[in-house]
Structure 1
Amino acid sequence: MQVLVRDNNIEQAIRVLKKKLQREGVFREMKARSAYEKPSEKRAREKAEAVRRARKLARKKAQREGLIPGPKRKPLPGPGRVAG
């Protein structure tokens, strides 16, 4: 993984690095590896994650097909209005 530091701006480079690490799941893996996980707990967790992924996939597919409404969007502020 590589992060470019522009104009000696270390703070921005650190923010970019943290975002990349977060996206890759490094922090989640570090937390999981900090303590021993029994094989039975690992199987249960992986099965629950698979169920969650399958439900999310089915929900997105149903939304695309128009069977259920999609997520509600926040209205955009009109001219002269302040968002918030």
Structure 2
Amino acid sequence: MATVVLRTGESQESLLKRFRKEVMKERILPTVRKKRWFTPPSELRRLKKQKAIRKARQAQRRREGRESAR
């Protein structure tokens, strides 16, 4: 959990800015967004499969790009 303590002489704006940085660093928001609603296991499998297909296509494009550059 992201925690920040108000430093002496620190403004509320800078405290809030540090808190936001901590939240981004710990990747809290993406986790909260994923867990906001229940996702059935079948949907998770489908999304995982789509992600794998997308990554494979990107890797294929990169390989083709390297070969054509030679």
| Partner residue, 1:16 | 18
Q: Give the structure with the higher percent helix.
A: 2
Name 1:71's counterpart in structure 2. none
1:49-60 paired onto structure 2 within 5 Å? 49=51
Q: Which runs of 5+ in 2 are unaligned?
A: none
- Cα offset, 1:4, TM superposition: 4.5
Greater relative contact order (Cα < 8 A, sep 6+): 2
Query: What is the number of residues matched between the two proteins?
Result: 66
The verdict on how the C-alpha distance between 1:13 and 1:47 changes in structure 2, with shifts beyond 3 A counting, is: farther
CA distance in 1, matches of 2:56, 2:47: 14
How much identity, in percent, do the aligned residues show?
26
Question: Matches of 1:23 and 1:46 in 2, distance apart?
Answer: 24
Moved more, 41-50 or 10-19: 41-50
The 1:28–1:11 alpha-carbon spacing in structure 2 relative to 1, beyond 3 Å, is same
